[in-house]
């Protein structure tokens, strides 16, 4: 079976040593599905059942296109990447699943070269996001661990990786430097059609990131009633929390009581926030 690599930008593809793919193809082996166990530290907590069922049906028809990645722990194998595929295979009643078994304590020269290349090259933000995603899946590590490996702050890595949620049209405009990563982050909360509309407006009118952020704020303001000006201290706390979670935070207060709302745009974004909050499955 040939390992199916995720679609990567041209800049990133050039950085990945050819030996890595050859080594992965040589490591693929079928493992009894009952000997495989989820990673208890997996940051992803939410798996949509309907999507799992769709994947299970696809696996029944076409098989597992991309092996999962595991590490051996005594007599069992712990999933590094691919828990969703493993769950779908169990649902499809498969007896075994193709796996790449990795020794996580012994990164070879090719893997180290990949990390060094990513650190050294001046990648565009989209290729950089793909690079971090590639490292996370390859090594089964968190964004915080990625930030330590590549020498970037956790907030920086998080903000870059959120760009993967943009529409492909918008991502292409970032790659070609027609808009900036800051423009892209400002419009993440919109659906694809609206993202494209605003992107075209940015290019046509030469809008700055601040202009776009104001446009986004204005578009979300209720139009039917006048809202009293928010306490400056609450606005300050909202800004701190927004930076902390890389997602818009809103604080509502009524006398001495209130609530804090954190926005997320999809299940992956929710998992990221839960990881930041250190919430574990019960």
pLDDT category at 1 given cuts 50, 70, 90 is very low
Mean pLDDT value across residues 208-215: 91
Question: Left, alpha or beta for 69 (phi > 0: left; psi -120 to 50: alpha)?
Answer: beta
Please write the tens of the pLDDT for every residue from 72-111: 888 899 887 788 889 999 999 999 999 988 766 555 555 6
Residues with Cβ within 8 Å of 199's Cβ and at least 6 positions away in sequence, in order, are: 169, 170, 173, 179, 183, 187
pLDDT category at 198 given cuts 50, 70, 90 is very high
Distance in angstroms (rounded) separating the CA atoms of residues 263 and 36? 35
Distance in angstroms (rounded) separating the CA atoms of residues 219 and 247? 17
pLDDT category at 3 given cuts 50, 70, 90 is very low
- For residue 180, the model assigns a pLDDT of 93
Please write the tens of the pLDDT for every residue from 221-265: 665 555 566 778 888 888 888 888 888 888 888 877 889 999 888
Please write the tens of the pLDDT for every residue from 110-154: 565 566 666 665 678 888 888 888 778 777 778 887 887 777 888
Give the global pTM.
0.51
C-alpha distances in Å from residue 244, one per residue of 158, 180, 182, 187: 10, 21, 16, 18
- For residue 146, the model assigns a pLDDT of 81
Mean pLDDT value across residues 63-78: 86
pLDDT category at 174 given cuts 50, 70, 90 is very high
User: Has residue 51 got a pLDDT over 60?
Assistant: yes
Choice among 37-51, 57-71, 84-98, 176-190 with the minimum mean pLDDT:
37-51
Please write the tens of the pLDDT for every residue from 19-43: 666 666 667 889 999 999 987 766 5
The closest of 118, 120, 109 to 136, measured between CA atoms, is: 118
Mean pLDDT value across residues 216-223: 74
SS3 state at 178: coil
Which residues have a catalytic role annotated?
A: 83
| CATH architecture of the domain formed by 27-101 | Alpha-Beta Complex (3.90)
Residues with Cβ within 8 Å of 33's Cβ and at least 6 positions away in sequence, in order, are: 86, 89, 90, 94, 95, 96, 97
């Amino acid at each position: 079976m040939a390992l199916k690599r995720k679609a990567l930008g041209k800049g990133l593809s050039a950085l990945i040593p050819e030996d890595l793919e050859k080594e992965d193809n040589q490591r693929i082996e079928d493992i009894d599905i009952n000997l495989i166990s989820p990673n208890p530290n997996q940051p992803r907590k939410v798996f949509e059942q309907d999507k799992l069922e769709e994947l299970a049906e696809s696996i029944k028809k076409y098989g597992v296109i991309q092996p999962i990645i595991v590490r051996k722990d005594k007599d069992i194998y712990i999933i590094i990447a691919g828990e969703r595929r493993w769950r779908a295979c169990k649902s499809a009643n498969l007896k075994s699943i193709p796996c790449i078994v990795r020794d996580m304590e012994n990164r070879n020269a090719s893997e180290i070269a990949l990390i060094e290349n990513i650190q050294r090259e001046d990648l565009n933000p989209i290729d950089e996001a793909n690079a971090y995603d590639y490292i996370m899946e390859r090594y089964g590590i968190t964004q915080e661990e990625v930030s330590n490996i590549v020498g970037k702050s956790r907030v920086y890595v998080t903000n870059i990786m959120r760009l993967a949620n943009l529409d492909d049209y918008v991502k292409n405009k970032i790659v070609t430097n027609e808009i900036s990563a800051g423009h892209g982050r400002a419009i993440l909360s919109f659906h694809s059609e609206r993202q494209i509309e605003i992107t075209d407006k940015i290019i046509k009118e030469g809008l700055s990131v601040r202009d776009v952020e104001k446009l986004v704020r204005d578009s979300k303001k209720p139009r039917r009633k006048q809202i009293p000006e928010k306490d400056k201290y609450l606005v300050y706390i909202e800004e701190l929390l927004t930076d902390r979670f890389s997602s818009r935070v809103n604080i509502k207060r009524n006398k001495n009581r209130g609530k804090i709302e954190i926005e997320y745009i999809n299940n992956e974004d929710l998992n990221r926030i839960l990881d930041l909050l250190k919430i574990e499955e019960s």
